[in-house]
Amino acid sequence: MSRTRSHEIFQRALQLMPGGVNSPARAFGGVGGEPLVFERGEGAYLIDVDGNRYIDYIGSWGPMILGHGNEQVRAAIHAAVDQGTSFGAPTERENTLAELIIELVPSVEKVRLVNSGTEATMSAIRVARGFTGRNKIIKFAGNYHGHVDSLLVAAGSAAATLGVPNSPGVTPGTTADTIVLPYNDPAALAAVFEQHGDDLACVIFEPIVGNMGTVIPKPEFLAAIRELCTKHGAVMLMDEVMTGFRVALGGAQQLFGVTPDLTTMGKIVGGGLPIAAYGGRADIMNHVLPAGQVFQAGTLSGNPLATAAGIATLSILKETNPYPRLEQLGERLMTGLAKAAADAGAPYSVARVGSMATLFFGAGTVVDWDTAEKSDTERYADFFWGLIDRGVYFPCSQFEALFISVTHTDEDIDTTIAAARASLQA
C-alpha cells in the first residue's frame, strides 16, 4: 500500500504549518510516523490521496455519526450556499436549530450558538462565573474541554500524547482559580467543596470521558457532582461536546438521568461543519449579553451553512433513532476486539458506551487519568499501524475514543475484527 503522495504533501505541510497540521491530534504523535492525507470520505470509508481505502473509526473525532457525505445533509448545505454564506444578522435557521437542541437535550431551556467546542466551554465558564459572582472552578484530570487557557491543566489526550500536560503560554494567574481533581472520586470532590464551597463557580466535566480514551463515570460520582453543586450554589457544567447526540439523542444527561445546569455541545451538533453551542437553565442563560451583562459574541456564530448542516443532522437522528443499531454495532466490534486481544495474550480492557469506545492495552480497568496513563502505548502504536496496513483507520492515540457511524455495516465490523486479530498476532 503506497503512501507516497501522503508523504509528499505532509513534507510540504511541515514547511507551512507548525508540525504540518492545524490541530495537534492529527499529527500521529501518539503512534509515531506520518499522518495520512485524505482526499474524500464516503459513508464509513475514507480515501487517502494515494487511493487507499480505510474503514474510518475517527469520524472527524466525533461529528460524522451519519457517515461521510450523507445526502440530506449535503442537500441542506447546498440549499443554504445558494442563499448566501453569512449575513451577521438573524436567520430563521438559528431558531430551528435552537428549537431542536432545546427539544432534544433535557436540561436546555435557552441556548447560544458558537463556532467550536472550545468557544462553548470558555463561554459557559464565563457565564457560570458571572451568574454566581465566584471565581474558582473544578475540572478533572484527563478531561479535555478545548484549548481554553484556564482549562489547559491535566487536559487529556492531545496534550498528554505530546507530553505537554500544561501548555507554555498559559500564565499561572490564568489557572490559579482552576482546581484539578481525579475523575470518579466523590470523596476528593466533597473535600474541596467543604473547603472552597462558597468560592466555587462551577464544576466542568465530561459525563463519559472520551479524551483519555473512553472512561465511564461511576453513578455515585455523577450524583455527588449534582448534589454538591446544588448544596453550595455552584453551576454543574456538563461538557457534552463529544457525548451529545452520540450516546443517546439527549446525550449522556438523558442516558444517565442526571440534570446539569449548563451543557456544552459541539461535534455532532454541526454535522461536520463548525458549530457548537452552550445552553441550560433560562435564569442562568439570561445573564448572557444582550439579555444580561456577560459578554460573548461571534461574527460567524449561527452561520447559515453550519446551522443547515446541524438541523439536517439532528433531524435525521430524531426521525431515525439510530441508537439501538449503533449499540449493536458497538457491541459487535468491542466483543470481537476483546476476544482478539485475549487470544493474542495481550493484557487489555474495554470501555464502551454505545458507539464510542476504547480498547486499552495494559492491566486493569481504567477509571481515571492515573489508571489510563498506565496503558501500553507502544503496543497500541503497533496495533494502530497493523490496522492501517489492513485498511482500518483507528484513533491515532491510545487516549482517544473510537466512533462508529450509522453507515458502518456488520461486514465492516467483521473486517475490522479480522484486521485487529491479524495485527495483534503479527
Ligand X SMILES: *Cc1c(COP(=O)(O)O)cnc(C)c1O
Which residue from 20, 29, 41, 146 is in contact with ligand X, where contact means CB under 6 A? Answer: 146
Nearest approach in angstroms of CB 401 to ligand X is 9
How far, in Å, CA of 397 to CA of 381, rounded? 8
Binding positions for ligand X, 239-258, rule CB under 6 A: 239, 241-242
Q: Give yes or no for a contact between 202 and 137, defined as CB atoms under 8 angstroms apart.
A: yes
Distance, in Å, from the CA atom of 126 to the CA atom of 128, rounded to the nearest integer, reads: 5
**Minimum CB distance to ligand X smaller for 117 or for 213:** 117
Angle (CA) 63-64-67 rounded to 5° is 175
Distance CA 304, CA 35 (A): 32
> What is the x/- site pattern for ligand X, positions 148-187, by CB under 6 A?
----------------------------------------
Beta strands in 49-149 (DSSP E): 53-56, 110-114, 136-140
- If the CB atoms of residues 131 and 144 are measured against ligand X, the closer one turns out to be 144
Cα–Cα distance measured from residue 78 to residue 66, given in angstroms and rounded to the nearest whole number:
17
Residues 6+ apart with CB under 8 A from 187: none
User: 94 or 239: whose CB is closer to ligand X?
Assistant: 239
* Residues touching ligand X, count (CB under 6 A): 15
Contacting ligand X (CB under 6 A), which of 134, 139, 145, 390? Answer: 145
Q: How far apart are CB 197 and ligand X at their closest, in Å?
A: 25
- Residue span 108-127 as binding mask against ligand X, x where in contact by CB under 6 A, dash where not: --------xxx--x------
179 versus 401: smaller Cβ distance to ligand X? 401
Give the shortest CB-206-to-ligand X separation in angstroms.
5
Only segment of 100-108, 144-152, 337-345, 369-377 that touches ligand X (CB under 6 A): 144-152
Point out which span in 26-34, 139-147, 193-201, 387-395 binds ligand X (CB under 6 A): 139-147
First to last CA, the chain: 17
Residues β-bridged to residue 209: 215
Stretch that binds ligand X, among 69-77, 142-150, 161-169, 180-188 (CB under 6 A): 142-150
**How far are the Cα atoms of 5, 213, 275, 401 from residue 185, in angstroms, in the given order?**
48, 18, 32, 22
Which of the stretches 140-148, 253-261, 298-306, 308-316 binds ligand X when contact is defined by CB under 6 A?
140-148
C-beta closer to ligand X: residue 215 or 334: 215
Least distance (Å) between residue 32 CB and ligand X: 23
Of residues 201-220, which lie at the interface with ligand X (CB under 6 A)?
A: 206, 210-211
By Cβ distance, which residue is nearest to ligand X?
A: 117
- The residue (of 252 and 341) whose beta carbon lies closer to ligand X is 252
Smallest gap from Cβ 270 to ligand X, in A, equals 9
**Residue where the block lists cell 437553565:** 281
Residues 6+ apart with CB under 8 A from 166: 152, 153, 154, 159, 175
Q: Toward ligand X, which CB reaches closer, 41 or 270? A: 270
**CA–CA–CA angle 234, 287, 209 (5° rounding):** 45
* Residues labelled catalytic: 144, 239, 267
Measured CA distances, 85 to 77, 300, 305, 307, 322 (Å): 10, 10, 6, 11, 30
On the 0-12 / 13-18 / 19+ scale of CB atoms within 10 A, 159 is buried
Q: Of residues 244, 260, 266, 322, which one binds ligand X by CB under 6 A?
A: 266
Of the two residues 251 and 330, which places its CB atom closer to ligand X in the complex? 251
User: Do residues 294 and 305 lie in contact, with contact meaning Cβ atoms separated by under 8 Å?
Assistant: no
Region near ligand X per CB under 6 A, out of 126-134, 217-225, 238-246, 352-360: 238-246
CA distance 237 to 215: 18
Please check whether residue 105 is in contact with residue 260, taking contact to mean a CB–CB distance below 8 angstroms.
no
CA distance readout (Å), 69 to 59, 62, 392? 11, 15, 19
Does the footprint of ligand X cover residue 91 (CB under 6 A)?
no
Residue 16 contacts by C-beta under 8 Å, 6 or more apart in sequence?
none
Residues near ligand X, by CB under 6 A: 116-118, 121, 144-146, 206, 210-211, 239, 241-242, 266, 276
